[in-house]
Chains A and B, each alone.
Chain A
Amino acid sequence: MTDYQTPSTHDFVNEWAHGLPEKLLEISNLRTYFFTEAGVVKALDGMSLEVNKGQAVGLVGESGSGKSVTAQSVLRIVPRPGRIVDGSIKFEGEDLLSKSDDDMRKLRGPKMAIVFQDPTTSLNPVFTVERQLTDILMLHRDLTKEAASKRALSLLEHVGIQEPEKRLKAYPHELSGGMKQRIAIARALSCEPVLLFADEPTTNLDVTIQAQVLELLKQLQKELNMTMVMITHDMGIIADMTERVTVLYAGKVMEVADTPTLFRSPKHPYTEALLKAVPSVKQTRALEVIPGNIPNLIEPPSGCVFNPRCKYAKDICMKQEPPLEKAEEGHYVACHFWRELKLEGRAG
Chain B
Amino acid sequence: MASLIRYVIRRLLFMIPVFLGVAILTFAVGNAAGNPINLIRAGLRNPNPAVLKALTEYYHLDKPIWQRFLLWLWDLLHGNLGVSISGRPVISQIGPWTFTTLELQILALILAIVIGVPVGVFSSKHQYSKTDYAITTTAIFGYSMPTFWLGIMLIVIFSLDLGWLPSSGAVSVTNLWWGNNILDWIAHLILPTAVLTYVELATFVRLIRANMLEVMRQDYILAARASGLSERTVTYRYALRNAISPVITIIGLGFGAALGGAPALETTFSWPGLGYAFTQAALTLDIPLVEGITIVITIMVLIANLITDLVYAMIDPRVTVQ
Contacts and interface: CB of A to CB of B under 8 A. Distances in A.
Chain A complexes with chain B: yes
A123 B317 CA distance: 14
Contacts of A127: 238, 241
A113 interface: yes
B224 interface: yes
Interface stretch (B39-47, B186-194, B226-234): B226-234
Contacts of B315: 126
B222 A125 contact: no
Interface string A92-135: 00000000010001111110011011100111111100000001
Contact of B220 (A72, A110, A121, A136): A121
Nearest to A137: B227
B53 interface: no
B225 interface: yes
Interface string A173-189: 10000000000100110
* Size category of the binding interface on chain B: 20 to 34
A101 B230 CA distance: 9
B318 interface: yes
A171 B242 CA distance: 14
Contacts of B226: 75, 77, 108-109, 113-114, 116, 188
B229 A135 contact: yes
Given A72-B222, A171-B317, A173-B321, A124 B238 contact: yes
Contacts of B245: 126
Interface residues of A, number: 34
B318 A108 contact: no
Contact of B318 (A106, A117, A171): A171
Contacts of B224: 124
B219 A125 contact: no
B316 interface: yes
A139 B233 CA distance: 11
A298 B242 CA distance: 33
A326 interface: no
A173 B318 contact: yes
B63 interface: no
Given A106-B228, A136-B229, A139-B229, A126 B317 contact: yes
A190 B237 CA distance: 20
Contact of B227 (A121, A126, A136): A136
Interface centre among A113, A116, A118, A126 (most CB of B within 10 A): A126
A126 B228 contact: no
A77 B222 contact: yes
Contact of A121 (B218, B230, B233, B237): B218
Interface in A173-215: 173, 184, 187-188, 190-191
Contacts of A106: 228
Nearest to B223: A122
A118 B219 CA distance: 8
A209 B22 CA distance: 53
A79 B242 contact: no
B130 interface: no
Contacts of B222: 72, 77, 79, 116, 122
A125 B219 CA distance: 11
A228 B47 CA distance: 89
A116 B224 CA distance: 11
Interface of B: 217-220, 222-231, 233, 237-238, 241-242, 245, 315-318, 321
26 contacts: A72-B222, A75-B226, A77-B225, A79-B222, A105-B230, A107-B228, A108-B227, A113-B226, A114-B226, A116-B222, A116-B226, A117-B219, A124-B224, A124-B241, A124-B242, A125-B318, A126-B245, A126-B315, A126-B317, A126-B318, A127-B241, A136-B227, A171-B317, A187-B227, A188-B226, A190-B227
Given A124-B224, A136-B229, 6 more contacts: A72-B222, A107-B228, A121-B218, A136-B227, A139-B228, A171-B317
